[in-house]
Chain A
Amino acid sequence: MWRLLTSGETDPYLNMAVEETLLEAVERGETPNTLRLWRSSRSAVVGWSEKPEETVNFEECRHLQIPVVRRFTGGGTVYHDLGNLNWTFAFRKKWEGEIISSLRIFEACSVPIIEALEGLRIMARFKPPNSLFIGSNKISGMAMYVKRRSVLCHGTLLIDADLNLLKLTLKRLKDPVTNLVDEAPSRLSVEEVMKLILEASEKALTIKLVEGQLSPSEKELTRVNFYKVYEPMRFMNIIKK
């Protein structure tokens, strides 16, 4: 049994606080393995070890009022808006201190997405180390954080995002990107994609997903993380490491 989280919260800073909380709670053994599907309102999300000045067009962001957030996982800088679906798998390792294969975990996490897209007659593929492509266009990137007892793997999925804004926000695009709506033979909605991902997840991981919510201690931890770490980013023009 895995817990499913699909709350409608869209504040980018709050969402990041929840992500960090999630991993900590799973690590402590306080909550079951969790699959979270979430969306943030438009924002630039910078990888932990990147320098925002180098990857984000700050002037544009200020001008267009696009907030800049730094997440606790590594990787590149991405653009979120409500047309982008974020997915997160937070789970316990087989045993404490297990040495994982990040490649295999990235691949495993992409299976439900790929299968869901197959259901929409979209042929996507996993491109190592950590992306999903349709043809030569990228639709998803992922990142991972590994603790002693648990792992968090999360990623994006461009469904119907504003690609113009994306290109204005990010200084550099390593690969060309595309939306699912432009690749699907018929109309699709975010809700539909979510439903298919959930079904495919249950099948691929042979689990039962049970809708839940953050526990009181998780809510408290989120509150602390939010006010201490993430909310302050809102008021900083340049986020220092």
Chain B
Amino acid sequence: MRRVLMPRMDIDMEKGSIVEWVTPEGGYVKEGEPVVKIMSEKVTYEVPSPASGTLYRIVVSAGKDVPIGRVIGILREEEDVEEELKAAVNEALFQLLEPERKEVETEKREAPQIQRRETSRVIASPLAKRLADEHGIDLTEVVGTGPEGRITREDVLKLVEESSQFSQTIPLVGVRKTVAERMAESFRTAPHAIVTMDVDMSHTADLRKRLKEKGVEVSYNALLIKATAKALREFPILNSILKGEEIKVWRAVNICIAVDTPHGLIAPAIKDADQRSLVELTKAVEELASRAREERLTVDDLRGGTFTITNLGILGVDQFQPIINPRQAAILAVGQISQKAVVEGASIVAKPTATLSLAFDHRIVDGAPAARFLGRLREILQTLEEE
């Protein structure tokens, strides 16, 4: 498997735009033959293919601008496994969401614009090699601390000890890695504060039943999205982003819905959620979720979200503290709907209740407006009707 990267074709180049894919998706290309044409300033370049294979996926299509070093396509070689290819595609899509960093500066090598596979030439002392053999350790996984990265006996011993403590090692790559980085960044930079409220979901249950009798299927997620979008319009500060010294309120309400996939957590965005009907939202969520699980999401799906809803209710969670999606002001966590004892008048009744937890960036929003927003959201959920 090879990644086709936006190459540095010119000493002064920092980004390029894709003019045309010479090889179509699914097409075969030989090593060295042009696979894609790119442009920078007034120059058109033909980019040679890093290897022979089929173009498994075009990650960035023609007409788009991409910084140097980003993955624009994935090339499938003979022995490749579907899983690996899909993971690479996801990783590439995620990377495209990262703000451009000045890593361009550190990449000023004149060598290949195309990533090569790591060679596995290992330098190790004879003792280290013997030890590794005895314990069934792969020397390519050992970090050498000797001169010039040479693997010493101590390095191998360290790994032997560690492997006896751990039953499994999962490399932090792909989606997992990107999620890890983003979560850490978000938690580190935005002071998270939480407000929590229980919501009586009997009205929404009733609404769903009534609509179903009319032959209209509407999901809980759609109801949550619609209600949230409405509340965000009334409390726009929750639909904003902190950029440097300015809080900027997004014009659109694009709600991300967190989806659990075999490769990790992905949150594609539903654009203009406030302008869509419950039926449209139901369809949109279903469509995005199934595409997410099939790893067929596009960059457009993942970009542009202004607020996120994460629903772990279906997994039996009552309440949890979510982490805000970077570039957003808040995130709503929804727990499961379960029967709870509620005081009504002079009696105790059972009501289907869900716990909503709103995590918000305290630099942008204070507790009171956040609480008011959540209160309003509760009110909407308890009175929502289909327009």
Contacts and interface: CB of A to CB of B under 8 A. Distances in A.
Contacts of A106: 42
Nearest to B19: A49
Nearest to B46: A147
Interface string A194-235: 000000000000000000000000000000000000000000
A102 B48 contact: no
A146 B47 CA distance: 9
Contacts of B43: 74, 102, 143-146
Given A147-B34, A148-B32, A148-B48, A100 B10 contact: yes
B11 A99 contact: yes
Contacts of B41: 102, 129-130
B110 interface: yes
Nearest to A98: B110
A75 interface: yes
Q: Which of A73, A74, A103 has the most chain B CB within a 10 Å cutoff?
A: A74
B2 interface: no
A143 B32 CA distance: 24
Given A49-B19, A99-B110, A148 B46 contact: yes
B96 to A, nearest CB: 21
Contacts of A99: 8-11, 110, 113
Nearest to A103: B12
B107 to A, nearest CB: 12
Interface string B11-33: 11000010100000000000010
Interface string A117-159: 0000000000001100000000000111111100000000000
Nearest to A147: B46
A146 B45 contact: yes
A97 interface: yes
Q: Which of B11, B12, B41, B44 has the most chain A CB within a 10 Å cutoff?
A: B44
Interface residues of B, number: 20
Interface in B175-196: none
A75 B42 CA distance: 5
Nearest to A143: B42
Give the interface SS of chain B, mostly helix, strand, loop or mixed.
Answer: strand
Given A74-B39, A146-B9, A147-B34, A97 B45 contact: no
A189 B11 CA distance: 38
Contacts of A102: 10, 12, 40-43
B34 A74 contact: no
Interface string A72-113: 111100000000000000000000010111110010000000
Given A48-B19, A74-B19, A99-B110, A145 B10 contact: no
Contacts of B110: 99
A146 B42 contact: no
B11 A146 contact: no
Interface in B263-321: none
Contacts of A129: 41-42
A146 B10 CA distance: 10
A50 to B, nearest CB: 11
B44 A73 contact: yes
A48 B37 CA distance: 11
Q: Which of B9, B34, B40, B45 has the most chain A CB within a 10 Å cutoff?
A: B45
A100 B19 CA distance: 19
Nearest to A73: B44
Contacts of B10: 99-103
A101 B11 contact: yes
A49 B10 CA distance: 19
Contacts of B39: 48-49, 74
B42 A74 contact: yes
Nearest to A72: B44
Given A49-B17, A100-B9, 8 more contacts: A48-B19, A48-B44, A73-B44, A74-B39, A99-B11, A102-B42, A145-B44, A147-B46
Interface of A: 48-49, 72-75, 97, 99-103, 106, 129-130, 142-148
Q: Considering the complex of A and B, which 5 residue pairs feature the smallest CB-CB distances, nearest first? A: A144-B43, A101-B11, A75-B42, A102-B43, A146-B45
8 contacts: A48-B44, A74-B39, A99-B11, A100-B10, A102-B10, A102-B42, A146-B45, A147-B34
